[in-house]
Amino acid sequence: MQENAQQPQKNPWLGVVYIVVSALFYSLMSLFVRLAGDLPVFQKSFFRNLVAAFVGLGILIKSRSLKMQKGSLPSLLARSVAGTVGILCNFYAIDRMNISDASILNKLAPFFSIVFSVFLLREKASVKDWVLVAVAFSGALFVVKPSFDFNKSLPAALGVLGGLGAGLAYTFVRKLGKRGERNAMIVFFFSTFSCLAMLPFVIWQYEPMTWAQLGFLLLAGCAASGAQLSVTAAYTYAPAKEISVYDYSQVLFAAIWGACFLGEFPDWFSVLGYVIIIGAAIFKAVFAHKEKLVKTKEERGQV
């Protein structure tokens, strides 16, 4: 194992700090993506990941090692495919919904992570975990507001799909963290893979950009780089079930940016959906904390 490999579960509180910082960066990314205006989603995603690829490469060069951990390639590829799908769906939703609504749908990712971790990481999920997953998705219905209007339903449906992609990606980030893979390698591999995958579509439907649009996309890339590095660090320091609740601060940040810069205000149905989803996440975090305390006492022979 390399010297700078991450040690998972080493510092849960540091994981909390990283997850809140990533939430702030992701909310700024959403704002910059919207401010970039009416551009193809592939073009926006390409420039967002191009910056992140160079940031990741720079960190790897500074570390004087471009090698990945042995056996990491399959998980890196899976993380990259899931992440690319998640980004495209999320950006489509951001362009066509309130950014706070798009953010909360993307924050279904931790609940999808519960499902995926059962099958991919062989982690156990309790009955309470499954109930909370169901509650979270019921809250999502208030945000999605299903209707027969295709133009309204499609962005919401893709927003949910974006959350699924992110949840699957985070599951593989956790798996890579357990293997000791470096954060910068995960970010660089994903960003490079995503850019190469989207390049043909960018060339096919490229739209000329103003300097302002290019600037906002580069800012989105910078924010995304900070977010990716932070969230990758967070999930290598602690399990998703212990810290993912703090990721919901992104919705608050996004609501503030939406109100201040875009004149967006969520309706009461969306707010109710936020309360249900975040409430489920808080309950899940509290339950996980209590379980951890009981387990610690049992290990010390106090129970």
What b/e readout covers 76-90, taking b as 16+ CB neighbours within 10 angstroms?
Answer: bebbbbbbbbbbbbb
Q: Is residue 214 a part of any domain in this protein? A: yes
Q: Is residue 89 a part of any domain in this protein? A: yes
121 burial type by CB count under 10 A (0-12 exposed, 13-18 middle, 19+ buried)? middle
- How confident is the model at residue 299, as a pLDDT? 64
Packing angle between helix 183-204 and helix 73-96, nearest 10 degrees? Answer: 50
Q: Is residue 68 a part of any domain in this protein? A: yes
Cβ atoms within 10 Å of 300's Cβ, excluding its own: 8
Q: Is residue 17 a part of any domain in this protein? A: yes
Count structural domains, the chain: 1
Mean pLDDT, residues 52-70:
88
Range of the domain at 40: 12-123+147-262
> Residue 19: is its pLDDT beyond 50?
yes
For the four alpha carbons of 155, 35, 38 and 47, in that order, the dihedral sign comes to negative
Q: Is residue 34 a part of any domain in this protein? A: yes
Q: What is the pLDDT of residues 92-148, one digit of tens each?
A: 999 999 899 999 898 888 788 888 888 887 777 778 888 888 888 888 888 887 766
Q: What is the pLDDT of residues 212-269, one digit of tens each?
A: 999 999 999 999 888 877 877 887 787 766 777 788 888 889 999 999 999 988 888 8
- How confident is the model at residue 2, as a pLDDT? 42
Q: Is residue 303 a part of any domain in this protein? A: no
Q: Is residue 278 a part of any domain in this protein? A: no
Give CA–CA dist 301/280, Å, rounded: 32
Q: Is residue 7 a part of any domain in this protein? A: no
3-state secondary structure of 181: coil
pLDDT band at 66 (very low <50, low <70, confident <90, very high): confident
